[in-house]
Structure 1
Amino acid sequence: MRIVDVNEYYSPTGGGVRTYLDRKMRILAELGHELIVIAPWDEDRVEDRPDGGRIYWVKSPPLILDRNYWLFRDGGPVCALLDELKPDVVENCSPWRPAWFIGDWRGDALKIFFAHNDNMGAYPHRWLEGIASPERIERWFSWYTRYMDKFLGKYDAFVTNGPALAKRYRARGLHVDAAMPLGIDRNHFSPDLRDEKLRASMLAQLDLPPEAHLLIGLGRHHKEKRWPVVIDAVERAGADMPVGLMLLGDGPQRATLERQIAGNSHIRLFRPVYERERFCRILASADALIHGSDQEPFGLVASEALASGLPLIVPNDGGCAEVADPLFSETYQPKDSKSAAAAIRRLFAREPAILRAAARHAAGQVLSDRDHAIALVDYYRELLAGRRRSAVA
């Protein structure tokens, strides 16, 4: 099967979508399939990947607000490439110009709109938070839902990257054909990487003894991650128990967060750790993951933490909530630091051995990215077979 992903979120310096597609290219090649990405960039260029797959870069203007990304100017060059490549399946995740020119392309391929995010949650709900209720914001921007419904009618299927996104879109009245949860690279994460000496060292950096509780937070310092809520919650819980927070990440809110934790030696900001083996050892050596965002489309960090044997403290809405089983997790009301502090207290009031055993058992059940790729190809195969049966009939 040849799959072509027309993707405006893929760039040389991109984030999660780029990581997902790079890994997916390799896995599909191993399974005997081919994934080709068509992405906008500074110049026309073809890039063959040695472990399978190919990138067609199409000369396009940059995104003014974020120079890490580019936007397709028009669909002509992209559709010409599709005519040349003759794919079995075309994927697109952009709701803007590509949504229409891919939908109108006259090729024989299966057309899939694959949602990686929710623009309503990422922008209007965040911008207008505190000004209007979520229900009113949804009503104000119902035009966007109607807009999506129009172009989705041109596609054979609307697929999301997990149940959290599917619930949001279905709540707005859109028809979602399938929720295909993403997976992680299970080759790196493991509870066996836990290092008690490293844990004690990390607690010492937080001015805490080895018997204290070590929380870890992962993610960009961005408003949507709600790190101020997490920091406030840890400070509240710290009044009743010895608990510290290591926050790994960076971003535009860093200075704001540093001012918030000033004077609290039990909470520290650390730069991202890009060396995979070291990062996985750090993650496995914490006592629990805490997360603040209720807008995560897919709980990637929660899955990575769980694969490392960590219990979870996460909001009761969003992608992280989808993997937060009560056996090894505590949830709280989004944006509520008092509720989050109570969740911290509840988690560490449990019997540690039983809690960690439950998390360790769950680690073996985390979906891998290979599992995701296999399930996605099987789903596309079923759709193609259904189309052939309809044609014969």
Structure 2
Amino acid sequence: MKIIDVAEFYADEGGGVKTYINQKLQAGKKAGHEIVVVAPGPRAGEEERFGGRIIWVPGPSLPVDRRYYVLWREKMVHEILDREKPDVVEGSSPWSGGWFAARWKGDAVKSFIFHQDPVAVYPHTFLGKLMNYSRVDKLFLFYWKYLKRLSKRYDATIVSGDWLADRLSVFGIKNPIAVPFGIDKKFSSPKRRNPKIRKKLLADLGLPDDAALLIGISRHHPEKRLGTVFQGFRQASLQRKMGLVLFGDGPFRWMVKRQARGVGHIKLMGFTANREELAEALSSADYFIHGSAAETYGLVVAEAICSGLPVIVPSRGGAADLAARDYSETYEPGNPAELSNAIIRMLDRDRPKMVEACAVAAQNSIGTMDDHFSKLFDVYENLVNIR
């Protein structure tokens, strides 16, 4: 098959979207499919990359983030699609890229990619304390109607879990199909656990070896609810000896620093480009703690489980979907008191038994990105065959 991804937010300096698309380019070559990415850039051009191709469509830089460019030349995108004659066209955003792919009149399977839930990211985060989530969804029914109208132009909507497919079905989004993400399970492994690293991290926090070491990995953004994490940890730390290290960075670094100020035994580790260092720190901690209820999958939670860490996560979203009772505790999103209770419950449980349960989940419940793309290509082949 030839698969063309109309990718509105692919850029050389990008983050998660770039990583995902680069993985898809490599997976496509390995599986014998041709992957072409149509993306906005500073100038027109074409290049080979990871066994596939990138076709750049010129556009202005995005005012809010100069790393990215605006996809605004619909006619040019359609000319590229006419010339390339794909078997499958992906619309990878609900904005211009999604509409450009949807309005193309060529004969190809059209796939709407839904890998972020904007209502969960912003309205749920900011309004969830004032009203229940169902009411927030109803308040933003105009957005769901917008997505429903867009999705009707596609043959399928690709999501990262059955729970999310169920959520979208409630709002009439067309044909949601779950294709779960995966991780590099060779990289995230309990074999990396190092008592010396654990001892050093606790010492840096001013704690003895018998304290519990919690770890988080999070972009610094309101949807991650790090204020809840810090306050829940603070309340729990009044009852037990524990420390928290948090890896990550982001545009709201100033806010995260302010939220952490005055909370003892917390260390903000910042961003590290050293993946080995991050994986070893993760495996060497005792428990993983997470604040975001807006994940569509929860990659860092999956990495923690595969690293042998019991997890403490919100009771909604992709993180909750990964959190089996055998190795997790959940709490109401945004509720520090509930998080504190969840931490204490976790510390009262048999950790070695939970680590064993993590190993079972890593083997049976969490896949790899090879698994993800293999299923994605199978879905596309089936759609092409029945078209």
With the shorter chain as reference, the TM-score category is over 0.9
CA contact (8 A) 2:227 2:260 kept: no
After superposition, the Cα gap between the structure-2 partners of 1:374 and 1:282, relative to the gap in structure 1 and judged at 3 Å, is: same
Q: How does 1:274-313 map to 2 (within 5 A)?
A: 274-313=273-312
Residue aligning to 2:320:
321
Residue aligning to 1:4:
4
TM-score, with length taken from structure 1: 0.93
Amino acid at match of 1:285: S
Residue aligning to 1:338:
337
Offset of residue 110 of structure 1? 0.7
Residue aligning to 2:202:
203
Task: Give the aligned CA root-mean-square deviation in angstroms.
Answer: 1.7
Question: For 2:28 and 2:80, how far apart are their aligned partners in 1?
Answer: 21
Offset of residue 22 of structure 1? 0.7
CA contact (8 A) 1:164 1:297 kept: no
Offset of residue 141 of structure 1? 2.3
Deviates more, 1:208-217 or 1:115-124: 115-124
Question: For 1:153 and 1:287, how far apart are their aligned partners in 2?
Answer: 46
CA contact (8 A) 2:157 2:173 kept: no
Please, which runs of 5 or more residues in structure 2 have no aligned partner?
none
Residue aligning to 2:359:
360
After superposition, the Cα gap between the structure-2 partners of 1:133 and 1:287, relative to the gap in structure 1 and judged at 3 Å, is: same
Residue aligning to 2:232:
233
Residue aligning to 1:255:
254
Residue aligning to 1:391:
none
Sequence identity percentage: 41
Report how many residues are paired: 386
Offset of residue 128 of structure 1? 4.2
Residue aligning to 2:104:
105
Amino acid at match of 2:41: W
Offset of residue 96 of structure 1? 1.7
Question: For 2:254 and 2:105, how far apart are their aligned partners in 1?
Answer: 50
| Secondary structure, aligned partner of 2:215 | strand
Residue aligning to 1:33:
33
Deviates more, 1:119-128 or 1:88-97: 119-128
Offset of residue 119 of structure 1? 2.0
Residue aligning to 1:63:
62
| Secondary structure, aligned partner of 1:39 | strand
Amino acid at match of 1:205: D
Offset of residue 278 of structure 1? 1.6
> Which portions of structure 1, spanning 4 or more consecutive aligned residues, are displaced by more than 4 angstroms?
127-133
Residue aligning to 1:372:
372
Question: For 1:292 and 1:176, how far apart are their aligned partners in 2?
Answer: 30
Question: For 2:106 and 2:51, how far apart are their aligned partners in 1?
Answer: 24
Amino acid at match of 2:8: E
Question: For 1:321 and 1:74, how far apart are their aligned partners in 2?
Answer: 40
Amino acid at match of 1:19: T
Question: For 1:327 and 1:381, how far apart are their aligned partners in 2?
Answer: 37
After superposition, give the CA deviation of every residue in 1:14-67 in whole Å (9 maximum; x if it has no partner): 121111111121122112122211111111121212x41111111012222222
Question: For 2:159 and 2:145, how far apart are their aligned partners in 1?
Answer: 18
TM-score, with length taken from structure 2: 0.95
After superposition, the Cα gap between the structure-2 partners of 1:334 and 1:130, relative to the gap in structure 1 and judged at 3 Å, is: closer
After superposition, give the CA deviation of every residue in 1:129-188 in whole Å (9 maximum; x if it has no partner): 555553443333212222222222211111212234323322323234301111112331
Residue aligning to 2:44:
44
